[in-house]
Structure formats: C-alpha cells, structure tokens
Amino acid sequence: MENKTIVITGGASGIGLAMVQLFARRNSRVYFLDINTDGEKVEASLKAEGLEAFFIPCNISNTKETEQVIGTIPGKIDVLINNAGISHVGKVENTSEEDFDRLFQVNVKGMFNCVKAALPKLKEGDGGSILNMASVAASIGIPDRFAYSMTKGAAHSMTLSIARDYVGDGIRCNCLSPGRVHTPFVDGFIAKNYPGQEKEMFENLSATQPIGRMAQPEEIAELAYFISSDKGSFMTGTDIPIDGGFLGLKM
C-alpha cells in the first residue's frame, strides 16, 4: 500500500481515525474527509511524524460539495473507505421524520455521493477498492435501532450492487460489519443516558459480545487495511463480520 492514495470519510475520530493513522503510518497517502474540525489536529500530528495525511472538511450529504472535494484530490484514487456515519436510538414509533432523513442523508446518500464522485479516479489504471462500513445491525434485529439498521442494510445492498457492476473495471467492493466498538460515541452515549452508572453499563454492553468485550478501533482498521491491500485482492461483493461472535454465537 506504499504510495497509494487512500480516501477515508469520517476520519477525524473513532474507527475512521484509527484507519487514517494506520494507512498513513504504513506509507500510504491519505486524504480524510469529515465535518469534525478535529481533523486539523489529526493532520498536524501525522505530518509531524513525516507522514502524508491531508484533512479536507466535507459534508458528504451535500452532493455538489462532495464532488468538488473529491475532484480536488490529485491523480488516481486507489482505495475509498466509506466510514462516515451517524447513529440513532429508537423504534419506528419514536423515530421522527427529521431523524429518519438525517440518518439517510449521511449514511446512505453520503455513501452514494462518495462512490459516484470517486469512481472515475478509481477506474484509472488497474482499478481499486471500495470498502463500506455496514454493521451487524444490517443482518440481525437489534432493539431500538430502526433507522440505523435501515441505513446499514442499504450499505450492504449497495456493496453487492457496486461489486457486480464494476468488477469488469477492476474495482472491488466489500463491506465490514462490526459489532460494538469502543469509540468516543459509546462513552458519550453511556454518560448521557446512564449518569453515575458508566462503569456498570460499559460492562453490560461489552458482555453483549460473546467474546466478552468490545472491539478496539485499531482492530477494525487492521481488517480494513488487509481487505484494501493487494493481499485482499480475491475479495469482492463480500460482507465481513468482525463482531466478537455476535452473529455466529448468539443463542
């Protein structure tokens, strides 16, 4: 992956940040998109290590802005990782139209915008790789995750369609389906909804994975790196769970 150009959305925090750091430290040229301005600090930190990492502010739900931003990335794109996403807690009856639209705009339309804008640059040369972030919520019913599950099911379906349509162009497309990952979002969710019970709730949520803990963002990043590299070149149209046994071992 040395000297290859990688585009990662949602790269300023959480899983996306772990991916940006991993690819950059293995000598890829990384462009990462986010609306979170912490990306500026991430860029500065990686450049201080002598690495090629470039933060570009972007609202991926805005089609024209996404086209313009991806159009400014010089040369060929070798890998696009659609990691950006937002969550929502609720059933159908307590999911507002605004909530539904907000999740669809980022998690589904945003992914569509990035793929469509990047395709001409991915098609150059020998093609490239697209990796979409889905979730175990795309494959199994999870309580109070109606809108979120809907968007991750769409990510899975888009992956299959893109893989089929562009295999002749040398473009692979896969998706990852993580279980629960310990990110700042999880800590914020617990602090907001269970004040004073943070330790207990963290342990309870960790125990929902049969393996007995949450994943670390770096573990997801390592798998993303393998799939995106030449070592993963026989993989396309595949959903890869990385979930501590959540799908396979649940009783």
pTM for the predicted model, two decimal places: 0.95
- Count the residues in the chain: 251
Residue 75 has what pLDDT? 96
* CATH number of the structural domain spanning residue 143: 3.40.50.720
Helix, strand counts (H, E) of the chain = 10, 7
Residues 167 and 57 in one domain: yes
- Is 166 assigned a catalytic role? no
Q: How far apart are CA 124 and CA 60, in angstroms?
A: 23
User: Which residue in 148, 166, 194, 225 is the catalytic one?
Assistant: 148
Its domain, for residue 58, covers: 5-179+217-241
Residue-wise pLDDT tens digits, 182-239: 998 888 878 887 899 999 989 988 998 899 999 999 999 999 999 999 999 999 999 9
Q: How far apart are CA 61 and CA 116, in angstroms?
A: 12
**Is pLDDT at 240 greater than 80 in this prediction?**
yes
Residues 193 and 134 in one domain: no
Please list the alpha-helical segments (H only) found in 10-82.
14-25, 39-48, 63-71
Q: How far apart are CA 190 and CA 184, in angstroms?
A: 10
Residues 190 and 133 in one domain: no
Q: How far apart are CA 99 and CA 13, in angstroms?
A: 22
**Is pLDDT at 250 greater than 70 in this prediction?**
no
Summary mean pLDDT of the chain: 95
Asked whether residue 234 is assigned to any structural domain, the reply reads yes
Give the chain's domain count.
Answer: 2
Asked whether residue 203 is assigned to any structural domain, the reply reads yes
Q: How far apart are CA 67 and CA 63, in angstroms?
A: 6
CA 18, 24, 30, 32 dihedral sign is positive
Residue 55 has what pLDDT? 98
Asked whether residue 246 is assigned to any structural domain, the reply reads no
Residues 89 and 192 in one domain: no
Residue-wise pLDDT tens digits, 113-156: 999 999 999 999 999 999 999 999 999 998 889 999 999 999 99
Q: How far apart are CA 178 and CA 205, in angstroms?
A: 14
What distances in angstroms separate CA 59 from CA 30, 36, 114, 129, 205, one per listed residue? 18, 10, 10, 22, 31
The answer to whether 176 touches 152, Cβ cutoff 8 Å, is no
Phi, psi (rounded to 5 degrees) for 39? -55, -30
Residues 88 and 119 in one domain: yes
**pLDDT band per the 50, 70, 90 thresholds, residue 43:** very high
Asked whether residue 222 is assigned to any structural domain, the reply reads yes
**Is pLDDT at 14 greater than 60 in this prediction?**
yes
Q: How far apart are CA 8 and CA 6, in angstroms?
A: 6
